[in-house]
Amino acid sequence: MAESEPSNQEVSRTTLTIRCPDDFHHHCRDGAATVSVLKHAYTRFRRCLMMPNLQPPVTTTKLALEYKERILQALQQNGQDPSKFQPLMTLYLTDKTSPEEIVTATALKNDDGTPTIVGCKYYPAGATTNSDFGVTDVKNLYPVLEKMQEVGMMLCIHSEVTHADIFEREPVFIEEIMKPLVRDFPTLKITMEHISTKEAVEYVLSAPANVKASITCHHLIYNRNHMLVGGIRPHLYCLPILKAEIHRQALVEAATSGSPKFFLGTDSAPHATHTKESACGCAGVYSAHCCIEIYAEAFEEVGKLDRLEDFCSSFGADHYGLPRNTDTIVLEKKSWTVPKTYEFGEHTVTPLKAGEEVKWTIVEDNAGKRKRAD
């Protein structure tokens, strides 16, 4: 892997100041649930790429603008400053998405000149939560992908097929979909989101520079044994599903390598506790409350804390063509216990590491940020 040398190999550190992070894969939900989710997202991130798999999905520019407005209203309802948090919007691709919609979406700019809609999400139909309206055949998207390549719009991909064994869906997707897609659209900007296998790491490293990947914090610290041994832990059930230890190790190596091919995307996906603990529990891990802290743990474990900032705060922004944030957050090596539940609209959500200890604490967050010296 291409690596940048860390400036300091110390593992034992008590404080860590990093550029304010961005999350390039965030489920903010809708309505009252959004108000709850933003209480955690706002303090940890300057920008969040909002996933469009609502009910109904965000399939048009008009719907994306309406969703963004609801997010901004939720910030205000929380007493949070909208100038300190930017929702980055996406469109949900379907078999009926038109190239004209891409042109419309691309034309929209924020006050600072950055795009309002920064990407389009490709869900294979039936692959994950609220993906029933997704794409049934990638060839149906080719006219849209041609336009996206032309205008520089990012393609965000849930990189799994639906016809393979659940532990093999990502590698099969690479062979059947990714390789032909990259061949046919050589300059299309692509994010393989939440990669979960050794094969995906190897593919991204071998792919052209326009193909990069996001990695979640839960795939860095858990393997499938954590979810299944000693009884099923439904709150660790996610898609892509947790894999064997060899894959977790490959993801840790990729994330901490210093390669700009990999960056933060939490895929924080809250579901009400009663919908996870049911006969047909839904997929998704809620990590917004402790994600940066967990990434810090994972990087510290392998002695790579000095590479945390690039992964969390630089490489993703670079890939999306956005300016790097100039503000910081400060973490301290101080343990805290995650509550067993958090408010989630009118329900509750059981968070990642519920009732367990997290080793790092954010002591100065996005709400009280300060400028970097550089």
Cα–Cα distance measured from residue 156 to residue 119, given in angstroms and rounded to the nearest whole number: 6
Distance CA 160, CA 172 (A): 7
pLDDT in tens, 123-151: 998 878 767 889 999 999 999 999 999 99
Neighbouring-strand partners of residue 157: 122, 192
Instruction: Identify the pLDDT of residue 6.
Output: 40
36 burial class (0-12, 13-18, 19+ CB within 10 angstroms)?
buried
d(CA 237, CA 280): 11
Helix, strand or coil, per DSSP, at residue 168: coil
Determine the residue type at 210.
Answer: N
**Residue partners of 249: CB distance under 8 A and separation at least 6:** none
Q: What is the pLDDT of residue 367?
A: 75
Q: Which residues pair with 213 in a beta bridge?
A: 192, 262
Provide the pLDDT for residue 373: 35
Q: Which residues are catalytic?
A: 267
Q: What's the pTM?
A: 0.94
**So what's the pLDDT on residue 327?**
94
Q: How far apart are CA 134 and CA 125, in angstroms?
A: 4
277 phi/psi in degrees, rounded to 5 = -95, 70
Q: What single string gives the DSSP state of each residue in 74-133?
A: HHHHTT--GGG-EEEEEEE--TT--HHHHHHHHH-B-TTSSBSEEEEEEPBTTSSTT-TT
| Segments in the chain below pLDDT 50 | 1-11, 370-374
Say what angle helices 245-255 and 198-206 make with each other, to 10 degrees.
40
- C-alpha distances in Å from residue 290, one per residue of 84, 94, 268, 361: 19, 33, 10, 8
Joined tokens for residue 5: 């040398």
- Say if residues 26 and 85 touch (Cβ distance below 8 Å): no
Q: How far apart are CA 118 and CA 152, in angstroms?
A: 9
Question: Are residues 90 and 156 in contact, defined by beta-carbon separation less than 8 angstroms?
Answer: yes
Please say whether the dihedral angle defined by the alpha carbons of residues 31, 87, 213 and 294, taken in this order, is positive or negative: negative
pLDDT for the residue 12: 55
Rounded distance between C-alpha atoms, residue 88 and residue 58, angstroms: 13
